[in-house]
């Protein structure tokens, strides 16, 4: 509502050094989902979180440390913080951290499985609203499918109870779902349920790509995740269910992002005006990218720091240097660097890190998906490789026309 | 809802005033601020100047007088602006009286 002196705003388009911050409050989780790329297998308390000295700092930040990060973020013009995990509500000091964020004038997104929402917490959210929808992941529409994913008996009822408590206080939330073999039969009922929630006029599309372990700490778990992945042909079938919308979206995307990227690795916005802090205080460009060359460790002394904080140093010096990195992998240079579909592909340094432990190794799974999509959209002919198409510009022009 | 010219009004403790890239933004902390729960509020230049003048001691008349001196503007017009601005903020629970502030401390 505008007046002569004020206007209401729901978003700000500023040139702040930092617009959005993700804070991973913990890697612990009370569920044990089959597909999880984060959950740290430890006890349920911070003290059991496996503190040790591995050079990057592996003790969870205290509430005071988190609040220090939030203060610095606020000073850099940040308006929105997301608390994520693991399961952030596992933190016994969550309420303290949440209130501190709100008292700094930050809007808060909470990514949670909702199983730990209590009446007390719902009352807190009613009294001090987060100003953003809670971001809730549901793993199935019924107990059997949900708990086949979460592997946590009773978690479905706990999630439903959490949602009921939020609804009872009219606290807005959005539901994410994730498509897995265990719950694929629920896809339609979940989509229908999400559409009829009054607080969710635009349901979020389900997650269909499964990432491998971000800490690269379990080849066994990675093998299990790979087995859960939808075959590339199924991914394309899923994405293209609404043909007209699918084609239109890809035309729009290709107009902006298609074309060979060359050797420059970072083409996304990671580390530009958003960043993330992991559970131990290490500053990352994005939640998934934990390659040591791209992470500012908590314990690293900052040269010429003066009064600058770690976030400011990361955003203004450390990350800009990382973003200059060029690929050196010959396979990447022969393929991804020359691929005119690179913007459509999930390939990025974070994916390469999770799959291969490097920044520039082609991920075959995503390459195959992108090629099948391109074939389906008429951008490629059968048997063609997208890095060997001399007339790619004409093809894009024709496709986008 | 009327503005008492002899009452001191101050920002509510239930909001946070921030300047982001020079833009004054009021962020609600508790519910019941404004019309919709996720609204933020931005102030124009007049609003920003009046907000800055709310020092916990000045009445609306004092604020108008101090701004008239600072900006060499017509005092009557500024009185109207100050009253209208404070009325808008009071209606939205963004400000309250200094007496309320003392009891909320």
Domain boundaries, chain B: 9-100
Per-residue pLDDT at A196:
58
Average pLDDT over residues A292-296: 96
- Least CB-CB distance to B20: which of A10, A14, A131? A14
Range of A114-118, A170-174, A248-252 with top mean pLDDT: A114-118
Record: contact A9-B47, CB cut-off 8 A? no
Higher pLDDT, A358 or B99: A358
Residue in chain B lying closest to A18 (CA): B20
Confidence class of residue A362 from pLDDT cuts 50, 70 and 90? very high
Which H or E run contains A136? strand A134-138
Q: What DSSP string runs through A172-224?
A: -EEEEEB--TTTGGGHHHHHHHHHT-TT-SSPPPPB-PPP--TT---HHHHHH
Contact flag B89-A6 (C-beta cutoff 8 Å): yes
Q: Is A225 on the interface with B (CB under 8 A)?
A: no
Which residues, including other chains, have CB under 8 Å from residue A76's CB and lie 6 or more apart?
A: A16, A17, A18, A309, A311, A312, A315
Which CATH number is B9-100 given? 1.10.10.1150
Residues of B in contact with A3 (CB under 8 A): 88
Cross-chain residue pair A129–B31, CB shorter than 8 Å:
yes
- Per-residue pLDDT, averaged over A261-279, amounts to 94
Running DSSP on this structure, what letter comes out for residue A383?
A: T
Q: How far is A167 from chain B (nearest CA, A)?
A: 15
Q: Which pLDDT score is estimated for B29? A: 96
What is the chain B residue with the closest CA to A132? Answer: B38
pLDDT band at A203 (very low <50, low <70, confident <90, very high): low
pLDDT at residue A307 tops 90: no
Measured in angstroms, the CA of B57 and the nearest CA of chain A are apart by 22
From its phi and psi, is residue A251 left (phi > 0), alpha (psi between -120 and 50) or beta? alpha
Whole-angstrom Cα Rg for chain B: 13
Q: How far apart are CA A96 and CA A323, in angstroms?
A: 35
Q: CA-CA distance, A296 to A48, in Å (whole number)?
A: 24
Most confident option among A9-23, A44-58, A189-203, A223-237: A223-237
| List of residues 6+ apart from A136 with CB closer than 8 A | A111, A112, A113, A114, A159, A162, A163, A173, A174, A175, A176
Structure tokens, A186: 């629920």
Q: By the 8 A CB rule, do A64 and A112 touch? A: no
Which runs of E-coded beta strand occur in B8-73? 9-11, 15-20, 23-28, 40-43
**Of the ranges A116-125, A158-167, A199-208, B30-39, which one carries the lowest mean pLDDT score?**
A199-208
pLDDT, tens digit, 9 for 90 and up, residues A311-341: 999 999 999 999 999 999 999 999 999 999 9
Instruction: Please say whether the beta carbons of B49 and B67 come within 8 A.
Output: yes
User: Higher model confidence: residue B100 or residue A260?
Assistant: A260
For residue A367, is pLDDT > 90?
yes
Instruction: Delimit the domains of chain A by residue range.
Output: 20-231, 232-265+326-401
Q: Taking chain B (105 residues) in consecutive chunks of 10 residues, what is each chunk's mean pLDDT?
A: 90 95 93 80 92 94 91 83 93 90 75
Number of alpha helices (DSSP H) and beta strands (DSSP E) in chain A: 15, 8
Could you count the other beta carbons within 10 Å of the beta carbon of residue A120?
9
Residue A198 in contact with partner chain B when CB distance is under 8 A: no
Q: Cβ–Cβ of A103/B16 closer than 8 Å?
A: yes
Tell me which long-range contacts A229-236 makes (C-beta under 8 A, separation of at least 24).
Answer: A229/A365, A230/A179, A232/A365, A232/A368, A232/A369, A232/A372, A233/A372, A235/A208, A235/A209, A235/A369, A235/A372, A236/A369, A236/A372, A236/A373, A236/A376
Ranges assigned E (strand) in A203-306: 274-277, 283-284
- What tokens does A136 get? 């809730």
C-beta atoms of B30 and A77 within 8 A: no
- Residue in the structure block whose two tokens are 């559409």: A195
CB within 8 A of A18, min separation 6: which ones?
Answer: A73, A76, A77, A78, A273, A274, A275, A311, A315
Check CB contact of B37 with chain A, cutoff 8 Å: yes
Q: For A187-201, A242-256, A339-353, which range has the lowest pLDDT when averaged over its residues?
A: A187-201
Place of tokens 């399961």: A87
Q: What is the per-residue pLDDT across A112-153, written as a single tens digit (0 to 9) for each?
A: 999 999 999 999 999 999 999 999 999 988 899 999 999 999
H/E element, B96? strand B95-97
The residue that leads in pLDDT, A109 or A217, is A109
Instruction: Please tell me if residue A14 touches chain B, with a CB cutoff of 8 Å.
Output: yes
| pLDDT above 80 for A54 | no
Count how many pairs of residues, chain A against chain B, have C-beta atoms within 8 Å.
91
Cβ density class A61-82: b for 16+ within 10 Å, e for less: bebeebbbbbebbbebbbbbbb
Please give the structure tokens belonging to residue A351. 């994916």
Determine, for residues B47 and A6 on separate chains, whether the beta-carbon distance falls below 8 Å: yes
CATH assignment of A20-231? 3.20.20.70
Other Cβ atoms closer than 10 A to A178: 20
Cross-chain residue pair B16–A104, CB shorter than 8 Å: yes
Of residues B33, B58, B50, the one with CA closest to residue B86: B50
Q: At what angle do helices A364-377 and A243-257 cross, to 10 degrees?
A: 110
Nearest to B19 by CA among A12, A277, A7, A184: A12
Distance CA A370, CA A344 (A): 7
- Identify the band that residue A387 occupies on the pLDDT scale cut at 50, 70 and 90: very high
Q: Which of A6, A100, A107, A170 to mutate to test the interface with B (most CBs of B within 10 A)?
A: A6
Global pTM value: 0.92
B95 touches chain A (CB under 8 A): no
């Amino acid at each position: 509502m505008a007046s002569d002196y004020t206007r209401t705003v729901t978003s700000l388009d500023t040139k702040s050094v930092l617009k959005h911050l993700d804070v991973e409050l913990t890697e612990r989780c009370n569920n044990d989902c089959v597909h999880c790329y984060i959950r740290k297998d430890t006890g349920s308390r911070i003290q059991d979180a496996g503190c040790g000295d591995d050079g990057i700092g592996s003790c969870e930040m205290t509430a005071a440390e988190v609040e220090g990060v939030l203060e610095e973020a606020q000073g850099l013009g940040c308006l929105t913080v997301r608390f994520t995990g693991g399961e952030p509500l596992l933190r016994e000091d969550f309420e303290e951290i949440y209130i501190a964020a709100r008292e700094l004038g930050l809007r808060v997104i909470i990514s949670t499985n909702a199983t730990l929402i209590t009446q007390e917490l719902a009352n807190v959210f009613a009294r001090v609203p987060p100003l953003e929808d809670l971001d809730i992941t549901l793993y199935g529409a019924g107990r059997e499918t949900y708990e086949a994913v979460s592997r946590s008996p009773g978690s479905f009822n706990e999630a439903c109870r959490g949602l009921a408590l939020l609804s009872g206080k009219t606290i807005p939330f959005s539901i994410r779902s994730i498509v897995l073999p265990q719950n694929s039969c629920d896809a339609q009922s979940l989509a229908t349920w999400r559409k009829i929630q009054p607080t969710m006029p635009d349901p979020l599309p389900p997650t269909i790509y499964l990432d491998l372990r971000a800490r690269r700490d379990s080849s066994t778990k990675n093998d299990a995740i790979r087995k859960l992945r939808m075959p590339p042909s199924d991914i394309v079938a899923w994405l293209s269910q609404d043909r007209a919308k699918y084609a239109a979206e890809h035309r729009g995307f290709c107009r902006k992002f298609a074309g060979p990227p060359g050797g420059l690795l970072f083409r996304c916005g990671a580390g530009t005006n958003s960043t993330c802090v992991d559970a131990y205080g290490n500053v990352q460009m994005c939640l998934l990218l934990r390659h040591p060359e791209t992470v500012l460790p908590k314990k690293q002394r900052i040269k010429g720091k003066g009064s600058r904080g770690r976030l400011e140093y990361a955003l203004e010096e450390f990350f800009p240097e990382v973003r200059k990195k060029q690929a050196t992998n010959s396979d990447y240079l022969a393929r991804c660097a020359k691929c005119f579909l690179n913007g459509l592909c999930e390939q990025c340094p974070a994916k390469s890190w999770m799959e291969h432990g490097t920044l520039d190794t082609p991920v075959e799974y995503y390459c195959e998906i992108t090629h099948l999509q391109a074939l389906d959209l008429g951008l490629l002919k059968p048997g063609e490789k997208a890095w060997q198409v001399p007339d790619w510009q004409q093809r894009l022009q024709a496709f986008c026309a | 809802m009327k503005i008492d010219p002899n009452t001191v009004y101050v920002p509510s403790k239930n909001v946070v005033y921030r300047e982001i890239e020079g833009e004054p933004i009021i962020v609600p902390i508790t519910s019941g601020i404004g019309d919709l729960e996720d609204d933020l509020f931005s102030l124009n230049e007049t609003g920003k100047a009046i907000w800055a003048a709310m020092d916990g001691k000045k009445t609306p008349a004092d604020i108008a007088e101090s701004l008239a001196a600072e900006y060499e503007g017509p005092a009557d017009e500024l009185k109207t602006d100050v009253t209208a601005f404070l009325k808008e903020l009071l209606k939205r629970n963004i400000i309250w009286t200094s007496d309320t502030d003392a009891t909320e401390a």
